Amino acid sequence: MQLGMVGLGRMGSNLVRRLLPAGHECVVFDGDRGPVDELAAEGAMGAGSLDELVVKLDKPRAVWIMVPAGRIAATWRSGWRPVT
């Protein structure tokens, strides 16, 4: 299974670390490039932007969004747009 993970804090990055050894392909993105690079070194496919994450995922796309509730989630949602 291929999965996009947005938000690589404690929960998001650990979920990816559990999915990779189980044979899942993970495309990862975070506002901080550090966790993206760390997970790419562990076998995930890094993305430098949300647009790049979308391009790297096969259709139908599955994206897990793991960002904190509140202001951060509202900021993320303001930049979302439909993709085809």
Question: In CATH, what class is 2-78?
Answer: alpha beta
Best CA proximity match to 1, nearest among 47, 9, 18, 66: 18
Name the residue ranges covered by the structural domains of the chain. Answer: 2-78
**Which segments in the chain show pLDDT lower than 50?**
none
The confidence score (pLDDT) of residue 70 equals 67
Structure confidence at residue 67 (pLDDT): 82
Taking residue 77's Cβ as centre, other Cβ atoms within 10 Å add up to 10
pTM: 0.85
Q: Over the stretch 21-40, which tens digit does the pLDDT of each residue have? A: 999 999 999 989 999 999 99
From the number of C-beta atoms within 10 Å of its C-beta (0-12, 13-18, 19+), residue 66 rates as middle
Beta bridge partner(s), residue 26: 3
Assigned token pair, 40: 């790419």
